[in-house]
């Protein structure tokens, strides 16, 4: 595998956003008079925020709650410190190897960019594609193909790191190599390859290169 680029999912990979999004979704849905469960929400993991709300309500109300969600989630991300401590050494190694990096997320661009900047991680990701920059969310491959276009790397030379099945389906549809990551929570079942730290991913990637 000749790896020239790596695309990271954001929520549940770079930061543990799943629990934060859960809290905001449940709060907003409750205020809208809609009762659901965490299990139902997790069936939508990988899709855009707006698409998740549209599963429960009209387009107009979904748009209103999406805007509320963006304000609330960015504040929570700025307080979030729960991330894999092997991330920074991994990013530095990739930078030293001249591997192109991008983020392809179902969350809106402003949220991803703002959270990365707050935690001083934006310097590693010159390319960010958010859910509001695509017409179709995961499992459609659009978000990853847009990342590939911007880092100017062929899909077959890109690895996607994802924590959800929809994202891994999107990577496969894009012609990319998908890696499962379950440091925070396991939404991947028996999917392989699957790792629980970036240290493990780093070892696996570069052993395969040698």
- Please tell me whether residues 115 and 132 are part of one structural domain: yes
- Please tell me whether residues 203 and 142 are part of one structural domain: yes
Chain centroid offset of residue 121 CA: 14
| Range picked from 31-40, 48-57, 117-126, 188-197 for highest mean pLDDT | 117-126
Q: With contact defined as beta carbons under 8 Å apart, do 125 and 102 qualify?
A: yes
pLDDT confidence band for 25 (50 / 70 / 90): very high
- Please tell me whether residues 89 and 154 are part of one structural domain: yes
- Please tell me whether residues 122 and 151 are part of one structural domain: yes
Q: What is the pLDDT of residue 125?
A: 98
- Please tell me whether residues 98 and 193 are part of one structural domain: yes
pLDDT digits (tens, 9 = 90+) for 45-99: 657 888 889 889 999 999 999 999 999 988 888 887 667 889 999 999 999 999 9
- Confidence check: pLDDT of 204 > 70: yes
Buried b (16+ CB within 10 A) or exposed e, 117-144: eebebbebbebbbbbbebeebbbbbbbb
Count H helices and E strands in the chain, helices first. 9, 6
Q: What is the pLDDT of residue 46?
A: 59
CATH for 90: 3.40.50.1000
Which strands sit side by side in the sheet containing 100-104, from one edge to the other? 127-129, 100-104, 5-8, 158-162, 177-181, 194-195
Q: What does the pLDDT average to over 161-170?
A: 91
Out of 50, 79, 108, a domain closes at 79
Which long-range contacts link 193-198 to residues 24+ away (Cβ below 8 Å)?
A: 197/84, 197/86, 198/84, 198/86, 198/87, 198/89, 198/90
- Please tell me whether residues 72 and 96 are part of one structural domain: no
- Please tell me whether residues 170 and 203 are part of one structural domain: yes
Burial status of residue 102 (CB atoms within 10 A of its CB: 0-12, 13-18, 19 or more): buried
Number of domains in the chain: 2
- Please tell me whether residues 168 and 91 are part of one structural domain: yes
Out of 25, 49, 79, a domain closes at 79
- Please tell me whether residues 103 and 38 are part of one structural domain: no
**Radius of gyration of the chain, Cα coordinates, nearest whole angstrom:** 16
- Please tell me whether residues 176 and 200 are part of one structural domain: yes
- Confidence check: pLDDT of 164 > 60: yes
pLDDT digits (tens, 9 = 90+) for 102-153: 999 988 899 899 999 988 999 999 999 999 999 998 899 999 999 999 999 9
Q: What is the pLDDT of residue 168?
A: 92
Structural domain of 89: 5-15+82-209
């Amino acid at each position: 595998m000749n790896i020239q680029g790596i695309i990271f999912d954001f929520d549940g990979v770079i930061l543990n956003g799943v629990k934060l999004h859960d809290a905001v979704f449940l709060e907003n849905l409750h205020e809208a008079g809609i009762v659901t469960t965490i299990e139902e929400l997790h069936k939508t993991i990988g899709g855009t925020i707006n698409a998740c709300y549209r599963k429960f309500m009209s387009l107009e109300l979904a748009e209103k709650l999406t805007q509320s969600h963006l304000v609330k989630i960015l504040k929570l991300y700025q307080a979030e410190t729960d991330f894999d401590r092997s991330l920074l050494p991994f990013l530095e190694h990739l930078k030293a190897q001249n591997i192109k990096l991008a983020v392809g997320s179902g969350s809106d661009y402003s949220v991803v960019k703002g959270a990365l900047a707050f935690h001083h991680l934006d310097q590693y990701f010159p390319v960010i594609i958010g859910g509001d920059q695509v017409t179709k969310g995961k499992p459609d491959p659009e978000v990853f193909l847009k990342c590939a276009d911007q880092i100017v790397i062929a899909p077959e030379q890109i690895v996607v790191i994802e924590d959800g099945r929809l994202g891994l389906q999107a990577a496969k549809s894009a012609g990319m190599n998908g890696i499962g990551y379950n440091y925070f929570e396991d939404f991947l079942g028996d999917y392989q390859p699957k790792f629980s730290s970036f240290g493990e991913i780093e070892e696996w990637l570069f052993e395969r290169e040698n």
